[in-house]
């Protein structure tokens, strides 16, 4: 088996091992692969593993030996699935490996916004507390989450994990979901999208990116939210119209936003959210805990091993 990992650096920058994968065949791992390097590097490979490197129908036509594509992520939009299906190429993904880590990031952003621990730590390293006339000081709103309403858009694995954390913190949870009320755990109430945005103190996005959900959060939707509301997006960047969100933050239409994803990654320098008021952005790292990446690589190996045994699992090209 000739195996090529096209862009392994993100999943494994050196703190994990590729050895279990290399035990399955001759394996070459590239940190990154540019579009003009793809065909040369993939030539002769039966199995390609990709994270963000795009594999098109044209690419597959020029790779006659290709029989298997393993996506090192849950989302698999980087692969032309229909083209793979027509050519009999198995395409696998890694479901649910980062559920706990992404839900944790939701609350990392939310707690940073409501408590501003980083802000006060920096102030104190600069000597502000030492110079204080009182035993304490604060210059930002400090917000208790217990009793607040959290609206979750999409109750898949990650949305449900975030909901459980919210309930544990004493929050009220409403959700926009296709699940019926009888199928939801105690404490989670289904509601309409309009009710969710207009009544929630915190809105967290966990729905897939489709044509129906693209720019779900736009000027019209933001205008219905509370001026004290917080938006969290650890899902997909294009769920949000970034210019509209920047305007809403700068005009006080909503209070704050915590984002781990943007519509273009890496983003443009002139992205309006970088200068927006109370906008806190992390570089798409919710998935990247060592625990989540360990699960990812382990499942990637198991996916390929199962394919080699003639019993593919997590095949999204069926």
Which residues are annotated as catalytic? 236, 265, 284
CA distance 88 to 78: 17
- Cα-to-chain-centroid distance, residue 28: 27
CB within 8 A of 172, min separation 6: which ones?
Answer: 147, 148, 149, 150
Cβ atoms of residues 240 and 264 within 8 Å: no
CA distance 139 to 160: 34
CA distance 293 to 195: 36
Q: Output the DSSP codes for 130-144.
A: TT-SSS----S----
Residue 79 φ/ψ, nearest 5 degrees: -115, 135
- Cα-to-chain-centroid distance, residue 189: 24
CA distance 9 to 53: 12
């Amino acid at each position: 088996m000739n195996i090529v990992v096209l862009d392994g650096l993100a999943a494994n920058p050196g703190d994990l091992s590729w050895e279990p994968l290399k035990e399955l065949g001759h394996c070459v791992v590239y940190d990154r692969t540019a579009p003009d390097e793809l065909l040369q590097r993939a030539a002769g490979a039966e199995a390609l593993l990709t994270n963000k490197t795009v594999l098109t129908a044209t690419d597959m036509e020029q790779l006659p030996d290709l029989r298997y594509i393993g996506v090192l992520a849950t989302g698999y939009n980087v692969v032309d699935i229909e083209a793979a299906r027509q050519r009999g190429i198995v395409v696998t993904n890694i479901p649910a490996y980062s559920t706990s880590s992404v839900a944790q990031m939701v609350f990392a952003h939310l707690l940073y916004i409501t408590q501003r621990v980083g802000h006060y730590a920096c102030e104190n390293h600069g000597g502000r507390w030492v110079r204080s006339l009182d035993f304490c000081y604060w210059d930002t709103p400090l917000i208790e989450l217990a009793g607040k309403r959290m609206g979750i858009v999409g109750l898949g694995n990650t949305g449900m994990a975030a909901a459980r954390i919210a309930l544990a913190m004493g929050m009220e949870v409403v959700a926009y979901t296709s699940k019926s009320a009888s199928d939801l755990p105690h404490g989670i109430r289904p509601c309409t999208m309009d009710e969710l945005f207009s009544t929630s103190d915190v809105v967290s996005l966990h729905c897939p990116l489709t044509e129906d959900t693209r720019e779900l959060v736009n000027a019209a939707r933001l205008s219905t939210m509370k001026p004290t509301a917080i938006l969290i997006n650890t899902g997909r960047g294009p769920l949000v119209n970034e210019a509209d969100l920047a305007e809403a933050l700068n005009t006080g239409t909503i209070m704050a936003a915590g984002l781990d994803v943007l519509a273009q990654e890496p983003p443009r320098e002139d992205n309006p959210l970088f200068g927006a008021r109370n906008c806190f952005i992390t570089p798409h790292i919710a998935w990247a805990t060592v625990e989540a990446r360990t699960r990812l690589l382990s499942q990637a190996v198991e996916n390929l091993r199962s394919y080699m045994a003639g019993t593919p699992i997590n095949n999204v090209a069926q």
